[in-house]
Amino acid sequence: DAKTTQPPSMDCAEGRAANLPCNHSTISGNEYVYWYRQIHSQGPQYIIHGLKNNETNEMASLIITEDRKSSTLILPHATLRDTAVYYCIVRLKAAGNKLTFGGGTRVLVKP
Amino acid sequence: GAGVSQSPRYKVAKRGQDVALRCDPISGHVSLFWYQQALGQGPEFLTYFQNEAQLDKSGLPSDRFFAERPEGSVSTLKIQRTQQEDSAVYLCASSLAGGAVSYEQYFGPGTRLTVT
């Protein structure tokens, strides 16, 4: 699986959009970009994934650049409950394909 | 509906003891994964089951670690002769996957193992 690079931490204000960047310059054509988050003392939680088109669900939006070398996870209206470590993971969409977690971005939402 | 559950949530073991950690995946989920998460680190893959078959155990750190899923549902991760470096949170995840199709993984809350 391709390696990802994320900033180690970032703060954002409650009610504002949080934009979380991820670089994955060695991504291959059939690898997907996945985002998970881990709230303190809980297991990781799936957020969203995409291949090359932008994706949106009830939790977040995922913007993938045209060359697919980077992406941004957008939390449109951050709340205090969004404080967590966010992991960007690149992987093949195949059965049994494990998740390879990097260091993630520790996001602190402040009131 | 019910999510992935793990028991116990916390386990303290003396060095040298054997421990068994249980995972109840979401009903009907074919795939089951175990991960180990050291303090301050991201989870690391240990092993993967598709139904009762253990298809990947490349992440198990030593032969003291053993996992099983005999009936293709509940899984147990066993650690023999625990050592202090085994202290970590052990996470279980399941997904509705079969063949070449993969779905997102749903994680349990983890079991925090402390070896003293």
Query: Residue A80: its pLDDT value, please?
Result: 97
Picking from B102, B106, B108, the nearest residue to A94 by CB comes out as B102
Shortest CA distance to A38 belongs to which of A99, A91, A94?
A: A99
How many angstroms separate the Cα of B41 from the Cα of each of A63, A78, B47, B91, B100? 26, 24, 18, 13, 30
Residue B55 forms contact with A (CB below 8 Å): yes
Residue A102 has pLDDT above 80, yes or no: yes
Q: Which residues contact B34 (CB under 8 A, 6 or more apart)?
A: B23, B45, B46, B47, B48, B67, B75, B77, B90, B91, B92, B93
Residue B56 forms contact with A (CB below 8 Å): yes
> Cβ contacts (< 8 Å) between A45 and chain B: which residues?
107
* Subunit contact B42:A104, Cβ cutoff 8 A: yes
Residue B48 is given by DSSP the state E
* Subunit contact B97:A96, Cβ cutoff 8 A: yes
Residue B66 forms contact with A (CB below 8 Å): no
Q: Which residues contact B63 (CB under 8 A, 6 or more apart)?
A: none
Query: Residue B98: its pLDDT value, please?
Result: 56
Query: How do residues A54-85 score in pLDDT, each as one tens digit?
Result: 999 999 999 999 999 999 999 999 999 999 99
Query: Residue A2: its pLDDT value, please?
Result: 66
Instruction: Please give the backbone phi and psi of residue A80, each rounded to the nearest 5 degrees, phi first.
Output: -60, -30
Residue A95 has pLDDT above 80, yes or no: no
Query: Residue B2: its pLDDT value, please?
Result: 82
Query: Residue B103: its pLDDT value, please?
Result: 73
For the beta carbon of residue A85, count every other beta carbon within 10 angstroms.
21
Query: How do residues A6-36 score in pLDDT, each as one tens digit?
Result: 999 999 999 999 999 999 999 988 899 999 9
Query: How do residues A40-56 score in pLDDT, each as one tens digit?
Result: 999 999 999 999 989 99
Most B CBs within 10 A among A33, A98, A101, A105, hence the mutation to make, goes to A98
Beta bridge partners of B112: B10, B89
Query: Residue B33: its pLDDT value, please?
Result: 95
Most A CBs within 10 A among B32, B37, B104, B106, hence the mutation to make, goes to B104
Below-50 pLDDT ranges, chain B: none
> Cβ contacts (< 8 Å) between A9 and chain B: which residues?
none
